């Protein structure tokens, strides 16, 4: 798997979210550089956990859709004297 990377605009948005979190939840100010370092840390060390959760959710969705599609295909079956 290639490393998780963000565009400059995404990084800027993430940094803003981290700074806001520190201000509102921890009553602390954090600079842009430390916030960007935290973003990089989470991406490198924990990003795979979040990424994998998304993959598992997608797999579950696809499985359910395929099952539904399978029922839809069998619904197209025409009646015959042959029993399956």
pLDDT digits (tens, 9 = 90+) for 48-76: 899 999 999 999 999 999 998 988 888 88
Other residues' Cβ atoms within 10 Å of the Cβ of residue 25: 8
Given a contact cutoff of 8 angstroms between Cβ atoms, the answer to whether 40 and 27 are in contact is no
H helices of the chain, in order, are 8-26, 32-41, 47-75
> What Cα–Cα distance (Å) separates residue 81 from each residue in 26, 33, 74, 78?
72, 74, 16, 10
**What's the CA angle centered on 23, arms 19 and 24, to 5 degrees?**
120
Confidence of residue 84 (pLDDT cuts 50, 70, 90): low
**pTM attached to this predicted model:** 0.68
Confidence of residue 32 (pLDDT cuts 50, 70, 90): very high
């Amino acid at each position: 798997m290639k490393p998780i990377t963000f565009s400059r605009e995404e990084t800027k948005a993430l940094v803003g979210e981290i700074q806001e979190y520190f201000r509102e939840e921890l009553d602390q100010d954090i600079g842009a550089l430390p916030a960007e370092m935290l973003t990089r840390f989470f991406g490198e060390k924990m990003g795979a956990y979040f990424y994998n959760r998304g993959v598992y959710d997608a797999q579950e969705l696809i499985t359910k859709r395929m099952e539904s599609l399978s029922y839809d295909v069998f619904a197209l079956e025409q009646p015959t004297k042959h029993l399956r």
